[in-house]
Every structure is written in structure tokens, then in C-alpha cells.
Amino acid sequence: MVMPEVSLTSAEVKLVSWLKKPGDAVKRGEPLVEVETDKATVEVESYVDGFLRVTNFPDGATVPLDAVIAILTTTPDEQIEDLPVHPADADAPAATVPALKQLRPPVGVSKGRIDITPVARKLAEDNHIDLASLQGSGPEGRITRADVEAALEARGIAPASGQLAGIAAVPAPGISSMRNAIAQRTALSKATIPHYYVSIDIDMQAVLRQLSQMKDTVAAPRIDPPTLTDVIIWACGRILPDYPLLHGTWSDGGPRVLPEISIGMVVGLDDGLIVPVIHEVDRLSLSAVAATTRTLKKKAKQGGLSNRELTGGRFTVSNLGMFGVSSFIAVINPPESAILALGATIKRAVVGDNDQVIVRPVMTATLSVDHRMIDGIVAAGFLKALKEILEASSSLSRDL
């Protein structure tokens, strides 16, 4: 059994503890081992029924993604053949390949896309290797870490081991693994994504009025009404289908649109921040969005988010308005193409339709965008649509 791709942002994970011991029977879908990624602690399930015979890594070990972590057999006394710990790096005998294929999770191959493991992709990108120039030696021609390292060796380049130049591979003393991951991801984002920023002021009077009415009509007193962040996430879910590049990614030298409208929500923790994901937001009502965000925030504070709840985001919303911040610009969360930063709703003097000065609650929203794939007119169109839906007098009540 190989370590599955539980992290899209790190080439390795920490093995916290084995939940089964050698000799135990294991059912498909049963938790086998607990691992710590750069985002959370998650359980890795077995993909087959069988018996756990050998564990290749002890508790506390650092394990590369795609490494063989255990050997499972169909019977408790089946003879075990020697298997490499790192199948992508070793020249395993041909006889061992079928066994590895049976234990490895299915690999999806998209037509026209380069088939490459996440570890190999990150190593290639960090060393500026053109993916199209690589020859894959893995199953069905898949490019592995060994293929990238061979290409680097042929050019006389020392591999960067998945790290940005100048960033230590081992966290400095006193720095948490989460802070180290944040440092690497933000540095990677600013180094590889050409950011630009577009802002708009939104009159929040209609939203605040509707939220106040909801508080008075909530059926169950223990159910909290939606927050401003919930409203923004819900509104983005309605708008993003019309702006596909804003929920896409830059991959293999060009833009790629990702169909699912799933939005990440930045949640602050004592030792950093985390971005749980609300999946298929465009299919959720406002009340469903609010219920989902409440659950995710609670699990984030308790450290109980699942791998699905931490992956698959296509767009991110970050709100610092509750701290009185009038506006700010956020760093795009790779591999996404945009992030929306929300400031505080502040009473401001504005000029009304009849040229009279009036006081309105105004929020500044700033969109950070990847200029490789999104032009200013697209970003401006998105913000204009966001402003229109939030300033509509009854937009929220129609979709509870």
C-alpha cells in the first residue's frame, strides 16, 4: 500500500500513528494509519480487504507521498515478496509491478493532459523543468519523481527537493509545521503567480437589513443566522459559474477550467491559518452555506477537518472586517487563480442618486487575480456582479 496523495501542497507527510498492527485483519475503507499534512491530521484508509503484514515506517517518521508504507495480503500467511519502499525511485523487478498496481489507488488520466505525480510536478516546477520534455517511466507512461530527478541530473542541476530556493527544508526552531507551510506557500504564490488587484465599494445596507430580519424570524433559537462571510460566499457561488477562469488554474503552460464551484474560507488559528472548503456552493442555499461554514469553523478550531474538507478549493474568501480593517489585499492560494479580501463594513458619507450626501454602511472588496489567465475586464465584471447581487433589496430572502 502506498501513501496516497493526501496533500496537494507538500511532497511528504508525518506518520502520526498506526491504527492497526501487523497481523490484524483490515477492511476496505477502514482507517489504517493517521498522518499529519501541512494542513491537518487525517486518517488514511485501506483501499483493499486483507491482512496487514508489514509496516515500513514507524510512528513519527516523515513519509514521502507515493512511498510504500505497508504490505497487505489477502490471507494471513501468504508469502511476501520484497517490495521497494519508494516504488517511484527504485528499479523494481517486473514481477512486483502487478502487486503494486493492485494496491495503488486508481490513477485518473485526462485526455490531452500530462500524467504526472504531484511530487514530480512540484519538483519540476520548482526547478523550472518543462513537463512536455519529460519521458515517464511509471505505469502507462506516468512521470514520476525519478524521471524529474534524472532530467535534472542530465542537466547538471541539483534538485531543489520540492523547496523554493532560500527556504530551509527543515523548519527553524520555534516555528510550527503550519507556519512553515504558510511561509512556503505564500512565497511560492508570490514567486510564481503574477498578482494584480481590483477593488470595489459595496453598499451593504440591503444585506444588513435582510440579515436583521432573518434574526427575528429564525425558527430555532439555537440556530445562528448567516454571517456576512456566509453571504459573500453564497453570492460568489451564484456569480462564479459566469466567470470560469476565476475558478480555474494555470497548469501545463495554460489555463484550465475546473467545473466544481468550491470555495475556500480562511479561518484563523492560534498558530496560523487554515482554509476549509465548502464544496459545490452554487448548489447550496444561503442557510445551507451558513450551516456548512459553522461546522467547518468548529472542526477547524478542534483540528478535526477531513482531507476532503481541506482540498478541492477553486476560489478563496478572506474576511478581516471583524478586526476593523478597512481593506487589504490577499495572497492567492495556489493552485487557485483568485482570492477575495473583505474589509469592515464602515459608515461612510456617499453621494446619493439625487446628489445629496447620505451615510451608508460600505464594505471594500478587493480581488487578487492571476494575470496569466485573467484580464482586468473579467475581474472588474465579477466585482460588478458581486456589488449588484449584494445591493439588491431582496436577493438573500429569495434563496434561504
pLDDT digits (tens, 9 = 90+) for 317-331: 999 999 999 999 999
The predicted pLDDT at position 154 comes to 73
Q: What residues act catalytically? A: 371, 375
pLDDT at 304: 83
- Please report the pLDDT score of residue 219 as a whole number: 54
pLDDT bucket at 170, cuts 50 / 70 / 90: low
Confidence of residue 399 (pLDDT cuts 50, 70, 90): low
Q: How confident is the model at residue 99 (pLDDT cuts 50, 70, 90)?
A: very low
pLDDT tens column, 55-92: 999 998 888 887 889 999 988 888 776 555 554 443 43
Least confident of 126-130, 182-186, 266-270, 281-285: 126-130
Higher pLDDT, 310 or 81: 310
Q: Where is average pLDDT lowest: 160-164, 310-314, 359-363?
A: 160-164
pTM beyond 0.85: no
pLDDT value at residue 100: 32
Q: Over range 117-143, report the average pLDDT.
A: 75
The pLDDT assigned to 182 comes to: 85
- Confidence label for 248 from pLDDT (cuts 50, 70 and 90): very high
pLDDT band at 268 (very low <50, low <70, confident <90, very high): very high
pLDDT, average across residues 102-122: 56
Does the pLDDT at position 164 exceed 90?
no
- For the chain, the structural domain boundaries read 12-103, 193-399
pLDDT at 361: 96
The arithmetic mean of pLDDT across residues 142-148, rounded, is 80
Per-residue pLDDT, 283: 94
| Predicted local distance difference test score (pLDDT) of residue 11 | 74
Quote the percentage of the chain above a pLDDT of 70: 81
% of the chain beyond a pLDDT of 90:
43
Structurally, at CATH architecture level, domain 12-103 sits in: Beta Barrel (2.40)
- The per-residue pLDDT for 102 is 34
Predicted confidence at residue 169, as pLDDT, reads 52
- Chain segment 210-245, per-residue pLDDT in tens: 998 887 765 555 567 899 999 999 999 999 999 999
Between 3.10.290.10, 3.30.450.20, 3.30.559.10, 3.30.910.20, what CATH number should domain 193-399 receive? 3.30.559.10
| Three-state secondary structure of the chain | CECCCCCCCCCEEEEEEECCCCCCEECCCCEEEEEECCCCEEEEECCCCEEEEEECCCCCCEEECCCECEEEECCCCCCCCCCCCCCCCCCCCHHHHHHHHHHCCCCCCCCCCCCECHHHHHHHHHCCCCHHHCCCCCHHHCECHHHHHHHHHHCCCCCCCCCCCCCCCCCCCCCCHHHHHHHHHHHHHHHHCCEEEEEEEEECHHHHHHHHHHHHHCCCCCCCCCCHHHHHHHHHHHHHHHCHHHHEEEECCEEEECCCCCEEECEEECCEEECCEECCHHHCCHHHHHHHHHHHHHHHHHCCCCCHHHCCCCEEEEECHHHCCCCCCCCCCCCCCEEEEEEEEEEEEEECCCCCEEEEEEEEEEEEEECCCCCHHHHHHHHHHHHHHHHCCCCCHHHC
**pLDDT score, position 142:** 76
